Every structure is written in C-alpha cells, then in structure tokens.
Amino acid sequence: MGSQNAAGRDPLEVLESALIGGISCFQLREKGAGALTGELLLDFAAECQRLCRAYNVPFIVNDDVELARTLDADGIHIGQEDMEANAARRLVGPDKILGVSVHSLEEAGKALLSGADYVGMGPVFDTQSKADAKSPAGISGIMAVKSRYPGLPVIGIGGITPDNAGQVWSAGADGVAVISAIAHAKNIPLQIRRFNESIKAGAEK
C-alpha cells in the first residue's frame, strides 16, 4: 500500500495495525493522485521501514529502485512497464528480494530467468486500487504458473478478501497481496485473522 490507500486514516497507523495483526511482508507502493515525492516520500518510506523493522517484517519498495537502494530496503518489486527484471537484479544485488508483476505464463518464465524471487499475479479479481489494472484473470493464471514452475513462489493480487483468499491459496498461491481489504478494514488485526482462517481452509483443500 501507499500513503493514499488508508481511507483517510494515518497510513502509518494502518501499517502498524497490520503489523500487529501479523502481516508477513509489506510493500510500499506510492502511486497515483496525491502520491508523495522527494523528501516527503523519503521520510514516509523511512518511517514505514522503521515500523517494519520493529516487527521484523520485510520492507519492499515498489518500482523505485533508487528509493530501495537509498534506504537499503529488503527488496524491490517491479512491473512489466518498469525496468527489466535482470537490470533491477543487477542494481539491487543478489541478496535483496526481487519481485516481478506478471500476467501470463510467459512473463512468469521470463521473470524466473531474470532472477525473480517471486512473481505477483493479478488482478485475480476486480480491483479498485489500480487504475490501469488488466481484466481479472481469476485463479487460472496462478494454477498455470504453479503447474509449469512449481518452485516459483506466486503471490495473488487484486480484489483479494477473506472470502476469496482460500480459493487463491487452493489454486497454489504461496501468498496473497492485499491493499483495500486490509487498509480499509475497521478492525485490521481481526481482518488479518479472517484472512489467515480463509488461507488455512484453502490450504486444507
């Protein structure tokens, strides 16, 4: 999530509630109208990183390799329209997490060859959080990637809620990436518990 996804709340409070609730990774995605830039972005990102460190949760920066390098973030996530994955790998070095957004089996194979540690696949369902999102692909893309590249971690993204997270998991996903269903939840730790219950049920299928 980014500073604009907190539904009018303090985004750092939203992040801390999610950390308390037990998220296992955080990705800073500062995009769209009103996105912070320059010093303001650097300060906000550094605060997010400080919170993540306090809860021992990896802090990944979306798209902005320079910001990731300046902060010595744990990783970088890039889209198909951003820089090439192998260029990002060269810039961040071998020890950082590299994630790549993919929308097809072909893109997943390419990301794997370029040194991606995981791929994000989406949108699985309809999303309001990404203006230029493609049409929802459901769980079939995840199933195809996991069947061809079983060792490549796949994270489902786009419209994922506690009601459908289990379905994404039983399709083979290794994780779910969520903005609105967590950032807009009234009780964030409770919402994360619901996610975990849904995922546990999906894993047993």
The site for ligand 3NM (CB under 6 A) is made up of: 29, 101, 120, 122-123, 127, 129-130, 133, 157-160, 178-181
The residue with its CB nearest to ligand 3NM is: 122
69, 114, 130, 193: the active-site residue? 130
Nearer to ligand 3NM, 4 or 170 (CB): 4
- CA gap 88, 107 in Å, rounded: 16
Whether residue 130 lies in the annotated active site: yes
Q: How far is the CB of 191 from ligand 3NM (least distance, A)?
A: 12
Q: Is 74 helix (H, G, I), strand (E, B) or coil?
A: coil
Q: Is 30 annotated as a binding residue?
A: yes
Q: Is 159 annotated as a binding residue?
A: yes
Whether residue 90 lies in the annotated active site: no
- CA gap 2, 121 in Å, rounded: 19
Look up residue 165 and give its two tokens: 């997270």
Q: How far is the CB of 151 from ligand 3NM (least distance, A)?
A: 21
Q: How far is the CB of 94 from ligand 3NM (least distance, A)?
A: 25
CB 147 within 8 A of CB 171: no
Read out DSSP for 166-184? Answer: HHHHHTT-SEEE-SHHHHT
Helix (H) or strand (E) holding 101: strand 97-102
Nearer to ligand 3NM, 37 or 135 (CB): 135
CB 161 within 8 A of CB 131: no
Binding residues, as ranges, are 27-31, 62-63, 82, 101, 127-130, 159, 179-180
